[in-house]
Amino acid sequence: MYIYKILRAPEWAELESAGKSAGAPIDVADGYIHFSTAAQAEETAAKHFAGVNDLMLLAYDPALFGDDLKWEVSRNDALFPHLYQSLTLNGLVWARELPLTDGKHVFPEGME
């Protein structure tokens, strides 16, 4: 199972060039990196990135974060993965564009 992070183009560019990032503005404000499971990712995109182009979807292996990853109750009383460290390239399994088609983000098949 992977966990997923959605980044805007400038946030992805920062992560790629610097090797680490504080994440999106909501991550900075809340003090941790918001991740989603495969089942939660589409709703996250619709709620926080509606109509936004040039997004990247990043898949991470949660086992590599150790105790810095906490599963906490959030939207709809579901457990969401929250990372209490900077976002880095460590643990990144893949990064793919998240295209917007007819107003909806199109997620890759086979997300686990």
**pLDDT per position as a tens digit, 84-103:** 999 999 999 999 999 999 99
- The pLDDT of residue 110: 87
CATH number for the domain including 41? 3.20.170.20
- The stretch 38-67 carries a mean pLDDT of 96
The domain of 35 spans 3-99
- Domain assignment present for residue 57? The answer is yes
- Domain assignment present for residue 25? The answer is yes
**pLDDT per position as a tens digit, 63-89:** 999 999 999 998 889 999 999 999 999
The pair phi, psi for residue 6, each rounded to 5°, is -105, 130
Number of domains present in the structure of the chain: 1
Q: Are 66 and 73 in contact (CB under 8 A)?
A: no
- Domain assignment present for residue 31? The answer is yes
- The pLDDT of residue 1: 93
How much is the pTM?
Answer: 0.95
- Domain assignment present for residue 107? The answer is no
Tokens of 13: 């560019």
H helices of the chain, in order, are 9-18, 25-30, 38-48
- Domain assignment present for residue 10? The answer is yes
